[in-house]
Amino acid sequence: MKKLAPRVFSTGSAPDSVFGGKQLLILMIVAVITIAIDSEIGFVADFIQSHLSSSWGIAVFIGVASIFAIGQHFVLAYVKQINKETRARALHLGLIHSVVSIAQYILAAILAIVILQILATQQYNIAALYASYAVSYGLWIVTLGLLAKAFSSWYKSSSKNVVVLILTLSMIAYVINGVTGLATNLDFLMQQKTVISSGDIAQFPEFSIASLGSQIDTANQIASSIAYILTWIGTVKLLYPYIKKLGKIKFWIIMSLAMVYYLIYFPLFVFGYFTPSENIDAMTNILIISLGGIFTGIIFGAAFLLAARALQKEISLRNHLLLAAYGFLLFYLAGSATASQAAYPPFGLVSVSFTGLSCYLIYSGLYSSAVTVSQDMVLRSSIRKSVTEHSRFLESIGTAEMEQQLKSRVLTITKKLSNKMVEETGVEASMTEDDIKRHIEMVREEIHKINSRN
C-alpha cells in the first residue's frame, strides 16, 4: 500500500474550478425547489389527475426531470473536486464516485425513457419505477452501509469516541430505514398496473394491520425515528466544539426547533394520532403532513451549513461540512417522497432519483468532518496536557525564554501527533499552527489564574 506523506496542518482552500461554492449553493436551492414541487405534486396526484395528464402537467414533469439530469452532473463534478483533496483511507472515494456517477446517469436515462414513452404512446411501463427504486435505494443502502462500516472500524481501532459511536448507530438505522423503505415501495408497486396510461389515477395502496407490508412499514417508521434522534444527538456533539464560532443562540435555536418538530410531528403523523380527513380539506392535510420532510432537511442542513460558514474558507473542514449539509438537506427532502403511487406522469420519481445522490454527499462529507473534529479535540487535549505538565516548572522560572521554549516544545509534540493521525486516517485536523499557538496561550492563562487564586 502506498504510504501517505504527512501534511501537518490544514491549509487547503476550496477546489479551483469555475463551478465553486456559490454556484453549488444556487444549484442546491434550485434542487430543493425542484424536489419540493415534484414530491408535493406526487403526494396529491390522485386529486389533480386531469391537470397532471394535460400538456402543462407533462411539461412540468419534463422540466423537473431536466433539472435533475443537469443538476446531478454539476453536483458530481463538485464532489469529485473535493474528493481530490480528501485522502480518507476508509472511504475508497474514487471507486465509489465512479459507481455513484454510473448509477445516477442510469437514473437520468430511465427518466428519459419514461418521457419518451409518455410523448410517443401516452403511457409508460411501471418497470421504470421498479428500476429507479432499485438503483436509488441501492445507493442509499450501500453508501450509508459503507459509512457505518467506516465509522465502526475507526471507533474500534483507535478513537473510542462517543460521537463516532452515535454516528455509527445512526448510519445503521438509516440502512435499515432504506431496506424497509425499499421493500415497502416495491410492495406498493406490485399492487399497481403494469402499464400506466393517461387516464389512470394515482393509487396509494393501503395495508391491513396484520399484513406483512404493514409490519415492514412499521419497522421502517421505527428505524426512521431512531435515525432521526441519533442524527440530532450526533449533530449536537459533532458541532459543539465550534459553538462559539457558530453563535450559541443561533445553534440552539436550530437544534431546538429540530427536536420540538420531532416531538410534535412524529406522534401526530407517523404513529397515526392524526390522519388526513376524507373531506374537501384532505389534500391540504396531506400537503401539510408531507412538508415534514422538507422542514427536517432544512433544519439539519442549516446546522451543518452554519458550522461551515463559521470557518475560514481555506480550511478543508469547511468543504466537508458543506457536503454533509447539502447531503442531509436533500436526503430528508428526497427520502420522504414517493413514486409508488404510479401517477401519470410519475411525479415523485425525480425526488426518488435524488435519494442516492444525497446519501453520497453525506458519505463524502460526514466521515471526513467527524474525523477532523475528533482529531481537533485530541490535539486540544494533548496541548492542555503538555502545557499542564510543564506549568509548575514555568512558574518557578518564569522567564520569557522559557515561555518560548514551552510553546516550541508543545508545538513540536502537537505536530507529531497530528502527523500520526493523518497517517492513520488520511484526514487532516483543521487546526492551523496559529490555532495551536492561541490554544497554548489560552491554556497558559487558565493555569496561571488557577495558580494565582491558590
Among 197-211, 267-281, 353-367, the range scoring the smallest mean pLDDT is 267-281
pLDDT tens digits, 407-441: 666 666 666 666 655 555 555 555 566 666 666 66
Question: How many angstroms separate the CA atoms of 311 and 452, rounded?
Answer: 34
pLDDT band per the 50, 70, 90 thresholds, residue 18: very low
pLDDT band per the 50, 70, 90 thresholds, residue 17: very low
Judge residue 350's burial from the number of C-beta atoms within 10 Å of its C-beta, 0-12 exposed, 13-18 middle, 19 or more buried.
buried
pLDDT tens digits, 109-132: 999 999 999 999 999 999 999 999
pLDDT given for residue 332 in this prediction: 87
Answer yes or no: are the C-beta atoms of 147 and 363 closer than 8 Å: yes
pLDDT at 211 over 80: no
pLDDT at 375 over 50: yes
SS3 of residue 123 by DSSP: strand
Residue length, the chain?
A: 454
pLDDT tens digits, 60-86: 999 999 999 999 999 998 888 877 766
For the entire predicted model, the pTM comes to 0.78
Question: How many angstroms separate the CA atoms of 123 and 47, rounded?
Answer: 19
pLDDT given for residue 280 in this prediction: 46
Q: Which three cell numbers stand for residue 328?
A: 442531509
Q: Which residues pair with 125 in a beta bridge?
A: 195
State the average pLDDT over residues 141-149: 93
Question: How many angstroms separate the CA atoms of 18 and 24, rounded?
Answer: 11
pLDDT given for residue 4 in this prediction: 38
State the amino acid at position 151 in one-letter form.
Answer: F
SS3 content of the chain, % helix, strand, coil (to 5): 75, 0, 20
pLDDT tens digits, 1-12: 333 333 344 444
pLDDT tens digits, 225-257: 888 888 888 888 877 776 776 677 877 887 787
pLDDT given for residue 43 in this prediction: 84
